[in-house]
Structure 1
Amino acid sequence: MKLAPFLVPTVLSLALALAGCAARAPAPAAPIDINLVALNDFHGHLEATKFVYTSAREGKENTMMAGGIDNLAAALQAYRVEDKDLLLVGAGDLVGGTPALSSMWGDEPSIVALSMLGMKFSSVGNHEFDQGRAELLRKQRGGCKPTLSVNACKFAPDFSGAAFSYLAANVIDKVTGQPLLPAFAIEQVKGVKVAFIGAVLKNTPSVVLASGIAGLAFTDEADAINKALPQARAQGATAFVVLIHEGGHTTEPFDQPDCTSLKGPVVGIAERLDPAIRLVISGHSHTGFQCKAGGRTITQAQMGGHVLSRIKLSIDPATGSVLDVAVRNVPVKPGEYPADPKVAGYLARVKAQSAAALARPIARVAQRSTARKMNEAGESALGGLVADAVVEATRAQGVQVGFMNMGGLRSDFDVADNLTATFGQAQAVLPFSNTLVVMDMTGAQLRALLENQWLRASGGRSMLQVSRSFYYKWDNARPDGQRVVPGSIRIDGAPLDDAKTYRVVANNFLAEGGDGYPVFKQAANKVDTQILDLDAFVGYLARNQPGSAALAAPAAPRPRIDRIN
């Protein structure tokens, strides 16, 4: 069709205008960057401690002092200059198993310090249950009502609890059928609703005091997280982050970008999660990594505040969903950033208030350091020392044999060059305030207890430490369940009699079948002495100082455990 001459300019103008509109069509909106910082397994390390690491950049082992709430605060202060909306989150074990500076005050200073750092959310960890559910809830909500902790409100006359929220989708109150703590929490950041879903390892009952978690069920982690996700979505969340106290290991450096060799329980959990979950922040294994596995990013920031995971979520502005995850694990170096005066001042106050108690001398000792590390047979010098101490403390109750679990020893027993041990150094070894339980066990039960060291649901072995009155051999070539060499077990030098009853002492955690030792639950005539393991240890050191008639050195001269093959 031929256009009338007067219409040609109009049509041309319209075409040019439309072409111009097409050329000026708005570009797609840039992704929204949401910045997170994560830490896990802080364990009340208020001060900087030794960090031994291998960096992907340098490829060699290094040692430095790292962490400490003053240095964490300085780093976070600098990061928040870059992004005022940055969120600090955790993956459990923020308290429990802590150095004396925190544990002597019931870990209240650690809760206060983490609140001052601006912690927003954290999964609960197994160590948050060390003093039972009532104490966990007190740490969350505040108050001075006595629980299993004997140190409530001793640092300050009141305690308001955590300013952050503990999360646990898979810890269920058996009475109500509901989570003990919130399963998730939603934070709106830069217009995006981000849901943080918390969980703790389902095997928590095997590593905490049974009486402290009575009435609680620890369910499958992935199932609980997946159940919470649609509930969070119904409340408007479009991006989802898992905070889980369960971990894994890799041989790659803690700062290796996108590591690929991660193995362990957290990988299997991640593979079963809803595809909308792109980021899993983990804990428990005290290993630094930033890995890709199961189509997701899985991170962990070592432990003790030595490392922070700096995480950037790239969010689709149209849908609010996660497009990409970038992670950098960075060491927390003292003096790297200008101090946060408020937090540095709080640390100074805690140290000043604690100094006299921690510095109190308790005994002269024979050596500068007594190590937790086990030899090839499974014997630890420090473990034997503690086992001897608990026997001596309960000898009046007829005790013949003492046992100590390695997980209850939280640090080597290190003293100053003058070989004078302080209360703080002793408490660093035994910070849990466990009590000593004496009980009757038959020789057959003791034999089964030893075999249980290789028959563990978690795999591997976990050797009990024994008092000097006890001796046995085990054969690495024999099958599980038959490792102890027949006829090798001796108590006070005499062969073990399966039918005879022996009086035994262990901490209340073990006595309730903790750490995967159900045989202890079969013991008869149990009596909780209410003697703290720490008090037994301190008293033993004081009574057996070098030069005393009782003991010239802290460890027995002969082995207590011998290994064949």
Structure 2
Amino acid sequence: MTGCATRPAAPIQINLVGMNDFHGHLDATKFDYTSAAQPRDGARSPPQLAGGIDNIAAALQAWRRDDPSLLVVGAGDLIGASPAMSSMWADEPSLQALTMAGLFASSVGNHEFDKGRAELLRQQNGGCVSIVPERACQFAPNFKGAGFTYLAANVLDSATGKPFLPAYRIADVKGVKVGFIGAVLKDAASVVLASGIVGLSFVDEADAINAVIPDMRAKGASVFVVLIHEGGSTSEPFDKPDCTELKGPIVGIVKRLDPAIRLIVSGHTHKGFQCKVDGRTVTQAEMGGHVLSRIALTVDPATSAVLDIGVKNVVVKPGQYPPHEAVAAYLKAARARSEQALARPLARVSARTIGRKATPAGESAIGDLIADAMLNATRAHGVKIAFMNAGGIRKDLDVGENMVASYGQVQIVVPFGNTMVAMDLTGAQIRALLEQQWVRPGAAEDSILQISNGFSYTWNPAAPRGARVVPGSLMLNGRALDDASSYRIVANNFLAEGGDNFPVFKDAPNKFDTQVRDFDVLVEYLVKMDKAGTPFGLNMPAGRIQIVK
């Protein structure tokens, strides 16, 4: 009698969907992209509407019909810097809609910390005790919290030395235990409000991720996926398979990860890519829900070895799939509630668009407007100069043909709800502050501060970093700044705590937080200008910042 061999079990396919940097974009928005299917030197596709939580949920519903075990995971910044429909309600509609769409887990991003650790815990666990009581639980009472799990292996509670949030979450998918590990960029502390993260430390991403692998193995995990809010960029199309030109911080992190980790879902840089780094797959799905990463892991059921990883970045197109009725109804209700509150006309302006496009010197029309509004709101505190960080300006003020700005249009420009903080700086400190625009350890790029009317200076792009401000060019109301004299200035509370890598602000004396928020400051100024018969509307920046030609 001959023995019969046991037939090897067929490989298992585990299907995932990755998303990142949703930023509360409940509605579809325009997406201008170049596909791998298009010639790079050919005509580009025109911008098209993409994303929208209703369309995302419809796509996920359709894909789950093919595989009910499909898991949806995120790589942070799902909320924060959000459009008005989400931010005016403390981002609760976005968290609820993502829960309804079936999100399983996500790493935290830096924007999850916009309102601090306590608010993030409330958004995760539910409740109405909030740093923003005028927004929390206003959309619906008794907010229950996100139905998915935020992960943060490298954000430690200084009191315990342990992760502030769960480091990982394990799912049993078709008999295979898949472990998802979350992390955020280790430099997150430099881009969030310092007072909101007291007692937290952000440690090396790769070290923190690798450290939890043994514990996950002990709990049966055999396939490991990293969800990380850190990224890179490539000149290759967002949907080019196995791209090879990825650059940025994520590359160095990936190269140091435990060999068992084969898939990394990234975020933060708002780029779309599906790349290979040292044989591992690294994905990112653009931002705002425009793109989703469809990921298929082929796993050997006998050994749990990952045999293959296939990725396809797909555009989320409106109407492509039958609607997810519950999410579509929820979005309709959110629109109605928000439009009623935000559609109220506010003030006339004299330009259809007051934009973020900067001059070669780094100045923008919307930056001029916001800095002037900040100065106007704080003159009573003796303020002479206002500074605004460009990263805090999220959209153009685009009012359309009627030339009347609404509350909603203003709110989306400055969605963070930062407060105005007055402080004192000497002329020498102001010059040092301006030099920090080009000397920013831990920052990916230069950042030119926007400045208020009456203040001006010139800088030389050919000069070394740290010595670019032209001597004698700093002027305030026609007079040169004196190095030894003290000047009252204002910045938002994010900058005032040294955010965005501007430590001069952090060390400034005589700080006073006015508790007046940026949105209210901008509203007050636009109304004031309208009533005075001189509505604001620079089509071009005012020329306060100049460069040596």
Alignment partner of 1:268 is 2:252: yes
Alignment partner of 1:179 is 2:163: yes
Deviations 1:224-261 (A, max 9, x none): 00001111011000000000000000000000011000
* Residue from 51, 54, 70 that aligns with 2:34: 54
* 1:381–1:253 distance in 2 versus 1, CA, 3 Å: same
Alignment partner of 1:541 is 2:526: yes
Structure 1 Cα separation of the partners of residues 160 and 522 of structure 2: 41
Aligned residue number for residue 33 of structure 1: 13
Structure 2 Cα separation of the partners of residues 146 and 204 of structure 1: 22
Aligned residue number for residue 510 of structure 2: 525
* 1:115–1:295 distance in 2 versus 1, CA, 3 Å: same
Q: Is the 8 A contact 2:232 2:250 kept in 1?
A: yes
Q: Secondary structure at the match of 2:437?
A: helix
Structure 1 Cα separation of the partners of residues 28 and 516 of structure 2: 32
* Residue from 514, 519, 529 that aligns with 2:499: 514
Q: How does 1:100-115 map to 2 (within 5 A)?
A: 100-115=84-99
Structure 2 Cα separation of the partners of residues 125 and 552 of structure 1: 35
1:459 deviates by 4.7
Structure 2 Cα separation of the partners of residues 160 and 370 of structure 1: 39
Deviations 1:188-226 (A, max 9, x none): 000000000000000001000000000100000000000
1:323 deviates by 1.5
Q: How does 1:141-220 map to 2 (within 5 A)?
A: 141-148=125-132, 150-220=134-204
Alignment partner of 1:44 is 2:24: yes
* Residue from 396, 406, 423 that aligns with 2:390: 406
Alignment partner of 1:232 is 2:216: yes
Q: Is the 8 A contact 2:368 2:450 kept in 1?
A: yes
Aligned residue number for residue 139 of structure 1: 123
Q: Secondary structure at the match of 2:500?
A: helix
Deviations 1:348-388 (A, max 9, x none): 00111112211011011111111112111111111111001
Structure 2 Cα separation of the partners of residues 331 and 460 of structure 1: 28
Amino acid at match of 2:423: M
Aligned residue number for residue 9 of structure 1: none
Structure 2 Cα separation of the partners of residues 205 and 517 of structure 1: 12
* 1:340–1:459 distance in 2 versus 1, CA, 3 Å: closer
Q: Is the 8 A contact 1:132 1:148 kept in 2?
A: no
* 1:225–1:262 distance in 2 versus 1, CA, 3 Å: same
Q: Relative to structure 2, which stretch is displaced further, 490-499 or 131-140? A: 490-499
Structure 2 Cα separation of the partners of residues 444 and 500 of structure 1: 8
* Residue from 230, 249, 265 that aligns with 2:233: 249
Q: Secondary structure at the match of 1:61?
A: coil
Aligned residue number for residue 377 of structure 1: 361
Identity %, equivalent residues: 61
1:551 deviates by 5.4
* 1:459–1:289 distance in 2 versus 1, CA, 3 Å: closer
Deviations 1:81-118 (A, max 9, x none): 11010000000000000000000000000000000010
Alignment partner of 1:306 is 2:290: yes
Amino acid at match of 2:408: G
* TM-score normalised over the length of structure 2: 0.97
1:294 deviates by 2.1
Structure 1 Cα separation of the partners of residues 93 and 453 of structure 2: 38
1:521 deviates by 1.2
* 1:123–1:557 distance in 2 versus 1, CA, 3 Å: closer
Q: Secondary structure at the match of 2:368?
A: helix
Amino acid at match of 1:30: A
Q: Secondary structure at the match of 1:375?
A: coil
Structure 1 Cα separation of the partners of residues 61 and 454 of structure 2: 55
1:560 deviates by 0.5
The gaps in structure 2 that reach 5 residues or longer are none
Q: Secondary structure at the match of 2:32?
A: strand
Structure 2 Cα separation of the partners of residues 479 and 86 of structure 1: 52
Amino acid at match of 2:519: L
* Residue from 458, 461, 473 that aligns with 1:473: 458
Amino acid at match of 1:502: Y
* 1:424–1:557 distance in 2 versus 1, CA, 3 Å: closer
Aligned residue number for residue 483 of structure 1: 468
Q: Is the 8 A contact 2:359 2:541 kept in 1?
A: no
1:557 deviates by 7.1
Aligned residue number for residue 76 of structure 2: 92
Q: Which has the larger radius of gyration?
A: 1
Q: Is the 8 A contact 2:179 2:224 kept in 1?
A: yes
**Equivalent residue pairs, number:** 544
Aligned residue number for residue 338 of structure 2: 354
Question: What RMSD in Å do the two structures reach over aligned CA positions?
Answer: 1.3
1:319 deviates by 1.4
Q: Relative to structure 2, which stretch is displaced further, 147-156 or 552-561? A: 552-561
1:549 deviates by 4.8
* 1:307–1:149 distance in 2 versus 1, CA, 3 Å: farther
Q: Secondary structure at the match of 1:44?
A: coil
Q: How does 1:453-472 map to 2 (within 5 A)?
A: 453-457=437-441, 458-472=443-457
Structure 2 Cα separation of the partners of residues 355 and 160 of structure 1: 24
Q: Relative to structure 2, which stretch is displaced further, 435-444 or 57-66? A: 57-66
Structure 2 Cα separation of the partners of residues 553 and 365 of structure 1: 5
Structure 1 Cα separation of the partners of residues 540 and 414 of structure 2: 20
Alignment partner of 1:418 is 2:402: yes
Q: Is the 8 A contact 1:91 1:243 kept in 2?
A: yes
Q: Is the 8 A contact 1:468 1:556 kept in 2?
A: no
* TM-score normalised over the length of structure 1: 0.94
Structure 1 Cα separation of the partners of residues 133 and 282 of structure 2: 34
Q: Secondary structure at the match of 2:423?
A: strand
Aligned residue number for residue 124 of structure 1: 108
Amino acid at match of 1:125: G
* 1:70–1:552 distance in 2 versus 1, CA, 3 Å: closer
Deviations 1:100-151 (A, max 9, x none): 0000000000000000010000000000000000000000000011225641
* Residue from 459, 462, 480 that aligns with 1:495: 480
Amino acid at match of 2:454: S
Q: Secondary structure at the match of 1:312?
A: strand
* Residue from 63, 77, 81 that aligns with 1:79: 63
Amino acid at match of 1:143: G
Amino acid at match of 2:190: S
1:66 deviates by 0.4
Structure 1 Cα separation of the partners of residues 423 and 140 of structure 2: 38
Q: Is the 8 A contact 2:351 2:539 kept in 1?
A: no
1:556 deviates by 7.9
Structure 2 Cα separation of the partners of residues 222 and 135 of structure 1: 27
